[in-house]
Amino acid sequence: EKPHKCDVCGARFARKQHLETHKKTHTGEKRYNCDVCGATFADRSNLRRHKITHTGEKPYKCDDCGAGFARKHGLETHRRTHTGEKPYKCDICDADFSQSGILEAHKRTHTGEKPYKCDI
C-alpha cells in the first residue's frame, strides 16, 4: 500500500519520508555534494549510492556467475538472466520483459513515440 501521494505529479509512496525526499525533485533543491566530482543530490542516500561509482566497489555478487554490482538492484536485475524471470508484461501484446526500462522502450513500438531527438 502506498498512501502518501505527491501533490505535483501523483507519484505514490509507502513511507512519508520517501515522499518528502521525492518532493525535492520538483523544487530542484540539492543540498548534498560529492567531494570527488561535485555532483549534487537532493538526499544523502543518493549521494552515498553515487560515491560508490568513484571507488569501483561492487559488494553485491552473483552466486551463479560471480558478477559484481555496486547496487543491490543491479544484482536483482542481473539474477533474471539466470532465472529467466520476466515480471514486466506489455498490456497491449502480452510480451514479457526482464526489466521495466525495456518494457517502456517496447511500448513505444505500439505508440510510435520517439522521445529522443538527434540534434545534428
**Which pLDDT band, with edges at 50, 70 and 90, does 117 fall under?**
confident
Whether this model's pTM surpasses 0.75: no
56-68, pLDDT tens digit by residue? 999 999 999 999 9
Residue 88 backbone dihedrals phi, psi, to 5 degrees: -105, 120
Question: Where along the chain do its domains lie?
Answer: 1-31
Q: What is the mean pLDDT of residues 98-119?
A: 91
C-alpha cell at 116: 529522443
Q: Which CATH number fits domain 1-31: 1.10.3720.10, 3.30.160.60, 3.40.50.10310, 3.90.870.10?
A: 3.30.160.60
| Whole-number pLDDT of residue 97 | 97
Most confident by average pLDDT, 30-34, 61-65, 113-117:
61-65
82-101, pLDDT tens digit by residue? 999 999 999 999 999 999 99
User: How many whole angstroms separate alpha carbon 40 and alpha carbon 101?
Assistant: 24
Q: DSSP for 37-96, please give it.
A: T--EESSHHHHHHHHHHHHT---EE-TTT--EESSHHHHHHHHHHHH----EE-TTT--E
C-alpha cell at 88: 514486466
101 three-class SS: helix
